[in-house]
A and B are shown apart, each in its own frame.
Chain A
Amino acid sequence: MKRKLRIYFPFINAGLQEATTYRANWFFMILGNVLGCFVSYFIWNAVFLSGGNDTMNGFTMPQMVVYIFLMFLTSTLISSGGTYDIGEEIRDGSISMRMIKPISYNSTFLFQELGNKIMTVCILIIPLVLGVEICRTIFTGEIQFNIIGFLLYIISCVFAYLINFFFNICFGFIAFVIKYLWGANMMKNCIVGFLSGTMIPFTFLPDFLEKLFLFLPFASLNYTPVMIYMGMYSGTELLFYMGLQLFWVLVFWGLSKLLWRVATKHLCVQGG
């Protein structure tokens, strides 16, 4: 284990260096997300105003605001670029450079991205959590922050990130088949955005759809951590949904290993 860490630690470092080298790139990406977040705030605001009720499907407007901003924070924390990176590496053939090293392909990606993530976490988490908490306090008149809830949220985010990472790796291996997958990736993002509750909370959906979506792996991505933060789950429910997350981590981890094995057999590195 210690040896493993020593091997992969340099990749964390490499990821961090990458993030600092391309600071501007990173900054605009975050800025884009923030703007998107405000757009969805105004849309929901309009929806609530036209509805005329204080609550819609169990959400009050302040809760909706918290939901939107938490969704944004969570998506940013657990985002993973595996699909795109793998696709690119296959397209330009640089994947071969990872293959001539005695290391696990998936792990190098994982640790490199973790390094990249450190910066996001350090810069974003404090102002956003603070912002969300101030909002909640103003709306309800009392401090809502719960340290245990927050820690559970972080653990849940780690699971969610791992699911997202391995899922994206699996999807990226499709690049071995279709060689270029920009369009497929767009479609995937759209579907995942819907199925993970980023666009609308599941409670707004018909009952059977809500039940179905909760069991799909995508709910484990954004929805579960946000619900945990908002204190919607407790006791056995909490255990169940976090257990489900762990289950999906293992499923996609196994699947990515399997796909890697299949894909390398069919790999045709281009160029050179």
Chain B
Amino acid sequence: MIYVENLRKEFKKTIKDPGVIGSLKALFHPHNEKVIAVDDISFNVPEGEVMGFIGPNGAGKSTVIKMLTGILTPTSGKCTINGKNPAEDRKNYVREIGVVFGQRTQLWWDLPLRETYGVLKEIYEVPDDKYKKRMAFLNEVLDLESFITSPVRTLSLGQRMRADIAASLLHSPKVLFLDEPTIGLDVVVKDNIRNAIEYINKQENTTVILTTHDLADIELLSKRIVMIDKGKNVFDGTISELKSKYGQIRELHFETDTQNADKVLAYKEHFGFVDDDISIKTEGTGVQVRFNSEVVPVSEMLSYTLGKININDISVKDADIEEIIRRLYKREV
């Protein structure tokens, strides 16, 4: 469905010295520098899959999405979606896709929401009966009723985001691109939006590419993750693959009545952990220890802890995905 091969995008950036003199100098003698936003990215997405597209700030995710949606022309490399090249046949291509950029709206700022959908209906040539059904459906999953007559500029962020997602789905696109669709939303609206995406994906077999910094989005919606950093692929696989590959982190929880348990235990000194291999959080009598089980095996950690202080309750957990990704972003693995 989506094939991306060695995609690359360079930007020219004008470098300017600070101050008025710098501006003048740049005016007469511009000094350009090449910025490589996307270096070399490849991945495929089969039809009907939800792909989680993640990476730290500035990794190049939005730039890739812009190339896939025909807004930017790649410097080199290829992307084919549904057999079409976005940059070449923009007008025909965009008929089959839906796009949401969380940071910016595609709705007409001064039109009441209902009229915006009327405009989109004409643009995408949706027949009347289909349009009615579709609106009823979107209304149900995204709960638009309460603000559908308000002008877009008066909507709150969460309302606007729901409205934007509805707008991207009105013409039943085959592929849906979502760039941070849950940014800045409360938990209820987030749930709402996740449910809508899941429902559309299941019902219509829509292929979805989703970028987000909220890993719960990914865990709930997608099995597959593509992670990039500095414009290059870092990881491509399922969430369980990610866990088994990088999941040496374990979480130890215990309840103790020993005062200052972390001082008494002194894991760092005892085992020689370096900084990022261990972290300890104390809350009342509960203590949470995250550690790298490759440096010290779980069994050794347990017996040491049990021998050193008085434990009431203890449990060991796999690291959650957030921890793994934090370490990947910090380039520790």
Contacts and interface: CB of A to CB of B under 8 A. Distances in A.
The finding on whether chains A and B are genuine partners in a shared complex, rather than unrelated, reads yes
Interface of A: 3, 6-7, 9-11, 13-14, 17-18, 21, 93-94, 96-97, 99-104, 264-265, 267-269, 271-272
A93 B94 contact: no
B72 A268 contact: yes
B210 to A, nearest CB: 15
B13 to A, nearest CB: 9
A104 B91 CA distance: 8
A97 B69 CA distance: 11
Nearest to A95: B71
B103 A264 contact: no
Interface of B: 11-12, 62, 66, 69-73, 90-92, 94-95, 97, 99, 101, 103-106, 108, 110-111, 115, 118-119, 122-125, 151, 179
B110 A96 contact: no
Contacts of A17: 110-111
B103 A267 contact: no
Contacts of B94: 99-102
A14 B111 CA distance: 6
Contact of B73 (A10, A97, A100, A267): A267
B123 A96 contact: no
A50 B226 CA distance: 79
Nearest to B91: A102
A18 B151 CA distance: 11
Given A10-B122, A102-B91, A267 B106 contact: no
B124 A102 contact: yes
Contacts of A10: 115, 118-119, 122-123
A61 B73 CA distance: 58
A272 B102 CA distance: 9
Nearest to A270: B11
Contacts of B119: 10-11, 14
Given A100-B99, A102-B95, A268-B11, A21 B70 contact: no
Contact of A102 (B111, B123, B179): B123
Nearest to B95: A102
Contacts of A272: 62, 66, 101, 103-104, 179
Contacts of B12: 268
Given A13-B111, A96-B104, A99-B69, 12 more contacts: A3-B125, A9-B122, A17-B111, A96-B66, A100-B69, A102-B94, A102-B123, A103-B123, A264-B73, A268-B11, A269-B72, A271-B104
A102 B124 CA distance: 7
For B66, B69, B71, B91, the residue with the greatest tally of chain A CB atoms inside 10 Å of its CB is B71
A269 B11 CA distance: 10
Contacts of A100: 69-71, 94, 97, 99, 106
Q: Which 6 A/B pairs are nearest by Cβ-Cβ distance?
A: A10-B119, A272-B62, A96-B71, A97-B106, A102-B95, A100-B99
Contacts of A101: 94, 106, 123
A101 B121 CA distance: 12
